[in-house]
Amino acid sequence: MIKPFIGKPMIKAITGIRRCGKSTLMQQLIALIKENGIDEESIISINKELFEFDSILTYKDLHAYISSKSVATKTKYYVFIDEIQEIESWEKAVNSLLAQQNYDIYITGSNARLMSSELATLLSGRYVEFRMYTLSYAEFTQLLKTKNVTQNQESNFDLFLKYGGFPGIHHLEMEDSIIRQYLQSVYSTVLLKDVVVRYNIRDSAMLDLITKYIIDTCGNITTAKNISLFMKSQHRSVSVDTVLNYIHYCCNAMILEQVRRFDVKGRRILETHEKYYMADIGFRYATVGYTPEAISGQLENIVFLELLTRGYSVSIGKVGEKEIDFIAQKGTDKIYYQVCTQLTDGKVIDREYSSLEAVNDHFPKMVLSLDKGFETSRNGIQWMNIEDFLLKK
Total structural domains within the chain: 2
Nearest 10 degrees: Cα torsion 245, 14, 257, 115: 50
**Number of Cβ within a 10 Å radius of residue 170:** 17
Q: Are residues 233 and 157 part of one domain?
A: yes
Q: Are 279 and 251 spatial neighbours (Cβ–Cβ below 8 Å)?
A: no
- Kindly state whether residues 126 and 141 are assigned to the same domain: no
- Same domain (yes/no): 215, 339: yes
Q: How far is Cα 70 from Cα 303, in angstroms, rounded to an integer?
A: 46
Is the pLDDT at 104 greater than 70? The verdict is yes
Task: Please indicate, yes or no, whether residues 111 and 94 belong to a single structural domain of this protein.
Answer: yes
Range of the domain at 299: 137-391
| Eight-class DSSP state of 291 | -
114 shares its domain with 187: no
- Final residue before a domain boundary, out of 131, 152, 172: 131
What is the reported pTM?
A: 0.91
Q: Where are the alpha helices (DSSP H) in the chain?
A: 22-35, 59-69, 90-99, 116-123, 137-147, 156-163, 176-191, 204-216, 224-233, 240-252, 282-287, 295-309, 346-357, 386-391
SS3 of residue 321 by DSSP:
coil
> Of 131, 161, 191, which marks where a domain is finished?
131
**Domain match, 98 and 149 both:** no
Angle (deg, nearest 10), helices 137-147 and 156-163: 110
Task: Return d(Cα 298, Cα 218) in angstroms, integer.
Answer: 7
Q: What is the CATH number of the domain that holds 44?
A: 3.40.50.300
Are 117 and 164 members of one domain?
no
Domain end among 114, 131, 148: 131
Q: What are the b/e assignments for 105-140, b being 16+ CB within 10 Å?
A: bbbbbbbbbbbeeebeebbeebbebbbbbbbbbebb
Around Cβ 297, how many Cβ atoms within 10 Å?
20
Pair (93, 121) in one structural domain? yes
Judgement on whether residues 98 and 166 belong to the same structural domain of the protein? no
Using CA atoms of 311, 127, 256, 343 in order, give the dihedral in degrees to the nearest 10. Answer: -10
Confidence of residue 294 (pLDDT cuts 50, 70, 90): confident
Residues 6+ positions from 331 with CB-CB distance below 8 Å: none
Domain match, 102 and 120 both: yes
- Using the predicted structure, report yes or no on whether residue 272 has a pLDDT greater than 70: no
Plot region of 55 (φ>0 → left; ψ -120 to 50 → alpha; else → beta)? alpha
Residues 72 and 93 placed together within one structural domain of the fold: yes
Are residues 147 and 234 both part of a single domain? yes
Q: What is the pLDDT of residues 309-349, one digit of tens each?
A: 999 999 998 888 889 999 999 999 999 999 999 988 888 88
Range of weakest confidence among 125-129, 251-255, 309-313? 125-129
